[in-house]
Structure 1
Amino acid sequence: MKISLKKCHFAHSEPKEPGHVVSGLSLGIDKNKVEAVLLKPIPQAKREEQSFQGFPGYYRQHIKDFEIIDNSLYKLWDQQTVYEINEERVKPYEELKNSLKLPFKLHIDSCGEVLGAVLHQKQIINDKPVEGTICFISRQIKPTEERYEASQMECLC
Protein backbone atom coordinates (compact mmCIF):
# COMPACT_ATOMS: atom_id res chain seq x y z
CA MET A 1 0.00 0.00 0.00
CA LYS A 2 1.29 3.47 -0.87
CA ILE A 3 0.33 6.80 0.67
CA SER A 4 0.43 10.04 -1.27
CA LEU A 5 1.60 12.85 1.01
CA LYS A 6 -0.07 15.40 -1.28
CA LYS A 7 -3.44 13.92 -0.35
CA CYS A 8 -2.72 13.62 3.39
CA HIS A 9 -3.46 16.36 5.92
CA PHE A 10 -1.98 16.30 9.42
CA ALA A 11 -2.70 18.37 12.56
CA HIS A 12 -5.55 20.44 11.11
CA SER A 13 -7.84 22.22 13.55
CA GLU A 14 -10.79 22.01 11.11
CA PRO A 15 -10.36 19.00 8.82
CA LYS A 16 -12.73 18.83 5.86
CA GLU A 17 -14.56 15.62 5.16
CA PRO A 18 -16.43 15.45 1.85
CA GLY A 19 -19.06 18.16 2.28
CA HIS A 20 -18.51 18.62 6.03
CA VAL A 21 -16.16 20.47 8.39
CA VAL A 22 -15.19 18.91 11.72
CA SER A 23 -14.16 21.39 14.42
CA GLY A 24 -13.57 20.26 18.00
CA LEU A 25 -16.79 18.49 18.95
CA SER A 26 -18.92 20.13 16.29
CA LEU A 27 -19.83 18.94 12.83
CA GLY A 28 -20.71 21.56 10.25
CA ILE A 29 -21.53 21.94 6.61
CA ASP A 30 -18.78 23.07 4.24
CA LYS A 31 -19.33 26.84 3.92
CA ASN A 32 -18.27 26.86 0.25
CA LYS A 33 -21.02 24.40 -0.62
CA VAL A 34 -23.62 26.31 1.40
CA GLU A 35 -22.59 29.56 -0.30
CA ALA A 36 -23.21 27.95 -3.69
CA VAL A 37 -26.79 27.07 -2.67
CA LEU A 38 -27.48 30.47 -1.11
CA LEU A 39 -26.38 32.25 -4.30
CA LYS A 40 -28.44 29.96 -6.51
CA PRO A 41 -31.56 31.76 -7.79
CA ILE A 42 -35.06 30.36 -7.38
CA PRO A 43 -35.56 27.80 -10.19
CA GLN A 44 -37.44 29.07 -13.22
CA ALA A 45 -38.22 25.67 -14.74
CA LYS A 46 -39.06 22.17 -13.55
CA ARG A 47 -35.65 20.80 -14.60
CA GLU A 48 -33.82 23.51 -12.60
CA GLU A 49 -36.06 22.72 -9.64
CA GLN A 50 -35.13 19.03 -9.75
CA SER A 51 -31.45 19.95 -10.04
CA PHE A 52 -31.69 22.18 -6.96
CA GLN A 53 -33.13 19.32 -4.87
CA GLY A 54 -29.94 17.24 -4.94
CA PHE A 55 -27.80 19.45 -2.71
CA PRO A 56 -30.15 19.96 0.23
CA GLY A 57 -30.93 16.25 0.08
CA TYR A 58 -27.27 15.51 0.80
CA TYR A 59 -27.57 17.51 4.03
CA ARG A 60 -31.04 16.21 4.99
CA GLN A 61 -29.78 15.05 8.41
CA HIS A 62 -28.80 18.65 9.20
CA ILE A 63 -32.08 20.29 8.17
CA LYS A 64 -35.00 20.22 10.59
CA ASP A 65 -38.22 18.97 8.98
CA PHE A 66 -36.42 18.41 5.68
CA GLU A 67 -38.89 15.74 4.58
CA ILE A 68 -41.85 18.08 5.12
CA ILE A 69 -40.27 20.90 3.10
CA ASP A 70 -39.06 18.53 0.40
CA ASN A 71 -42.44 16.83 0.15
CA SER A 72 -44.17 20.18 -0.39
CA LEU A 73 -41.88 20.80 -3.38
CA TYR A 74 -42.68 17.39 -4.88
CA LYS A 75 -46.41 18.02 -4.49
CA LEU A 76 -46.02 21.32 -6.36
CA TRP A 77 -44.32 19.51 -9.24
CA ASP A 78 -47.24 17.13 -9.62
CA GLN A 79 -49.99 19.73 -9.20
CA GLN A 80 -48.94 22.25 -11.81
CA THR A 81 -48.41 21.35 -15.44
CA VAL A 82 -47.76 25.02 -16.24
CA TYR A 83 -44.72 26.26 -14.34
CA GLU A 84 -45.35 29.56 -12.57
CA ILE A 85 -43.40 31.32 -9.82
CA ASN A 86 -45.56 32.25 -6.82
CA GLU A 87 -45.28 32.58 -3.03
CA GLU A 88 -46.25 28.94 -2.52
CA ARG A 89 -43.34 27.85 -4.74
CA VAL A 90 -40.73 30.28 -3.33
CA LYS A 91 -41.37 29.61 0.39
CA PRO A 92 -39.88 26.06 0.58
CA TYR A 93 -36.69 27.22 -1.17
CA GLU A 94 -36.26 30.06 1.30
CA GLU A 95 -36.82 27.65 4.21
CA LEU A 96 -34.15 25.27 2.88
CA LYS A 97 -31.67 28.10 2.33
CA ASN A 98 -32.28 29.63 5.76
CA SER A 99 -31.88 26.29 7.52
CA LEU A 100 -28.43 25.85 5.96
CA LYS A 101 -27.25 29.23 7.30
CA LEU A 102 -27.85 28.50 10.98
CA PRO A 103 -25.08 26.99 13.20
CA PHE A 104 -25.05 23.37 14.41
CA LYS A 105 -23.96 21.75 17.69
CA LEU A 106 -23.13 18.10 18.22
CA HIS A 107 -23.53 16.78 21.80
CA ILE A 108 -21.91 13.39 22.43
CA ASP A 109 -22.00 11.25 25.56
CA SER A 110 -20.80 7.77 26.42
CA CYS A 111 -21.49 5.85 29.58
CA GLY A 112 -20.76 2.24 30.29
CA GLU A 113 -22.10 0.19 27.43
CA VAL A 114 -23.79 2.77 25.22
CA LEU A 115 -22.88 5.78 23.13
CA GLY A 116 -25.21 8.57 22.05
CA ALA A 117 -25.20 11.87 20.19
CA VAL A 118 -27.68 14.64 19.46
CA LEU A 119 -27.36 17.11 16.60
CA HIS A 120 -28.87 20.53 17.45
CA GLN A 121 -29.36 23.64 15.35
CA LYS A 122 -30.34 27.17 16.32
CA GLN A 123 -33.61 28.10 14.67
CA ILE A 124 -35.59 31.29 14.55
CA ILE A 125 -39.16 30.74 15.80
CA ASN A 126 -41.38 33.80 16.28
CA ASP A 127 -38.29 36.03 15.93
CA LYS A 128 -36.56 34.25 18.86
CA PRO A 129 -33.54 31.94 18.59
CA VAL A 130 -34.41 28.44 19.81
CA GLU A 131 -32.15 25.39 19.82
CA GLY A 132 -33.97 22.55 18.07
CA THR A 133 -33.05 18.89 17.71
CA ILE A 134 -32.22 17.64 14.22
CA CYS A 135 -31.40 13.98 14.90
CA PHE A 136 -30.41 11.42 17.53
CA ILE A 137 -27.75 8.73 17.15
CA SER A 138 -27.08 5.87 19.56
CA ARG A 139 -25.45 2.48 19.61
CA GLN A 140 -24.02 -0.15 21.92
CA ILE A 141 -20.30 -0.19 22.56
CA LYS A 142 -18.53 -3.26 21.17
CA PRO A 143 -16.56 -5.47 23.59
CA THR A 144 -13.23 -4.32 22.14
CA GLU A 145 -14.21 -0.66 22.66
CA GLU A 146 -15.10 -1.11 26.36
CA ARG A 147 -11.50 -0.51 27.44
CA TYR A 148 -11.37 2.92 25.74
CA GLU A 149 -11.25 6.12 27.80
CA ALA A 150 -14.47 8.19 27.81
CA SER A 151 -13.00 10.81 25.46
CA GLN A 152 -11.95 8.09 23.00
CA MET A 153 -15.40 6.48 23.13
CA GLU A 154 -17.06 9.79 22.31
CA CYS A 155 -14.99 9.97 19.12
CA LEU A 156 -16.57 6.69 17.96
CA CYS A 157 -19.93 8.32 17.42
Structure 2
Amino acid sequence: MSVDRVKAFESLIQASTTAPLLLMPDFVLPFMLYVDSSEDVLGDALHQVQIINDKPVEGPICFIYRQIKATDTRYGVVMPHLGLRKAKLLSGRMCF
Protein backbone atom coordinates (compact mmCIF):
# COMPACT_ATOMS: atom_id res chain seq x y z
CA MET A 1 0.00 0.00 0.00
CA SER A 2 1.16 3.50 -0.75
CA VAL A 3 1.68 6.12 1.93
CA ASP A 4 -1.27 8.11 0.56
CA ARG A 5 -3.58 5.12 0.89
CA VAL A 6 -2.45 4.44 4.46
CA LYS A 7 -3.04 8.10 5.37
CA ALA A 8 -6.46 8.02 3.71
CA PHE A 9 -7.39 4.85 5.62
CA GLU A 10 -6.21 6.35 8.93
CA SER A 11 -8.19 9.50 8.15
CA LEU A 12 -11.28 7.38 7.49
CA ILE A 13 -10.85 5.57 10.82
CA GLN A 14 -10.44 8.90 12.63
CA ALA A 15 -13.55 10.38 10.98
CA SER A 16 -15.69 7.33 11.74
CA THR A 17 -14.73 7.12 15.41
CA THR A 18 -14.98 10.79 16.41
CA ALA A 19 -17.73 13.41 16.37
CA PRO A 20 -20.31 13.57 14.98
CA LEU A 21 -21.34 10.36 16.68
CA LEU A 22 -25.01 9.54 16.99
CA LEU A 23 -26.74 11.17 19.95
CA MET A 24 -29.35 9.49 22.10
CA PRO A 25 -32.72 11.15 21.45
CA ASP A 26 -34.18 13.40 24.13
CA PHE A 27 -37.93 13.32 23.51
CA VAL A 28 -38.47 16.54 25.49
CA LEU A 29 -36.45 18.57 22.94
CA PRO A 30 -37.55 19.31 19.36
CA PHE A 31 -36.17 17.34 16.43
CA MET A 32 -34.98 18.62 13.03
CA LEU A 33 -35.43 16.49 9.92
CA TYR A 34 -33.12 17.14 6.97
CA VAL A 35 -34.37 15.59 3.73
CA ASP A 36 -32.55 15.13 0.43
CA SER A 37 -33.09 13.20 -2.77
CA SER A 38 -31.34 12.68 -6.07
CA GLU A 39 -32.15 10.58 -9.11
CA ASP A 40 -30.78 7.46 -7.40
CA VAL A 41 -31.06 7.85 -3.62
CA LEU A 42 -33.43 9.21 -0.95
CA GLY A 43 -32.03 10.25 2.40
CA ASP A 44 -33.09 11.78 5.71
CA ALA A 45 -31.08 12.84 8.74
CA LEU A 46 -32.81 13.33 12.09
CA HIS A 47 -30.95 15.90 14.25
CA GLN A 48 -31.42 17.46 17.66
CA VAL A 49 -29.76 20.28 19.62
CA GLN A 50 -28.56 18.99 22.98
CA ILE A 51 -26.41 20.50 25.73
CA ILE A 52 -22.97 18.84 25.74
CA ASN A 53 -20.23 20.22 28.02
CA ASP A 54 -22.46 23.24 28.81
CA LYS A 55 -22.73 24.16 25.11
CA PRO A 56 -25.67 23.64 22.72
CA VAL A 57 -24.56 21.18 20.05
CA GLU A 58 -26.59 20.03 17.05
CA GLY A 59 -25.96 16.39 16.33
CA PRO A 60 -27.42 13.49 14.40
CA ILE A 61 -29.85 11.05 16.00
CA CYS A 62 -30.12 8.76 12.97
CA PHE A 63 -29.56 8.59 9.24
CA ILE A 64 -31.99 6.93 6.86
CA TYR A 65 -31.44 6.27 3.19
CA ARG A 66 -32.55 3.97 0.42
CA GLN A 67 -32.01 3.54 -3.27
CA ILE A 68 -34.81 4.70 -5.55
CA LYS A 69 -36.78 1.88 -7.16
CA ALA A 70 -38.35 1.97 -10.61
CA THR A 71 -41.81 2.50 -9.07
CA ASP A 72 -40.55 5.59 -7.20
CA THR A 73 -39.95 7.39 -10.51
CA ARG A 74 -43.72 7.84 -10.89
CA TYR A 75 -43.77 10.51 -8.15
CA GLY A 76 -42.93 14.19 -8.33
CA VAL A 77 -39.94 15.82 -6.64
CA VAL A 78 -41.59 16.17 -3.21
CA MET A 79 -43.30 12.79 -3.13
CA PRO A 80 -40.15 10.62 -2.69
CA HIS A 81 -39.38 12.50 0.52
CA LEU A 82 -42.82 11.77 1.86
CA GLY A 83 -42.57 8.12 0.87
CA LEU A 84 -39.26 7.71 2.69
CA ARG A 85 -40.56 9.33 5.86
CA LYS A 86 -43.72 7.27 5.77
CA ALA A 87 -41.87 4.03 5.09
CA LYS A 88 -39.15 4.38 7.69
CA LEU A 89 -39.96 7.03 10.30
CA LEU A 90 -43.69 6.59 10.73
CA SER A 91 -43.69 2.80 10.55
CA GLY A 92 -41.45 2.55 13.62
CA ARG A 93 -38.53 1.03 11.74
CA MET A 94 -35.21 1.45 13.54
CA CYS A 95 -32.93 4.24 12.38
CA PHE A 96 -29.29 3.59 11.59
TM-score, normalised relative to structure 2: 0.58
**Preserved CA contact (<8 Å) 1:124 1:130:** yes
Query: Aligned AA for 1:145?
Result: D
Number of equivalences: 63
Long gaps (5+) in structure 2: 1-21, 85-96
Runs of 4+ in 1 over 6 A off after TM superposition: none
Give me the identity figure in percent. 52
1:120 is aligned to 47
Give the whole-Å Cα distance in 1 for the aligned partners of 2:59 and 2:39.
27
Which of the two has greater strand per residue?
A: 2
Matched, 1:148 2:66: no
The Cα offsets for residues 98-154 of structure 1, whole Å up to 9 and x where unpaired, read as x22111011111110110000001100122211110100000111011132111111
**Preserved CA contact (<8 Å) 1:102 1:121:** yes
Q: Larger RCO: Structure 1 or Structure 2 (Cα < 8 Å, ≥ 6 residues apart)?
A: 2
2:14 is aligned to none
RMSD over equivalenced CA pairs, Å: 1.8
Which of the two has greater helix per residue?
A: 1
TM-score, normalised relative to structure 1: 0.37
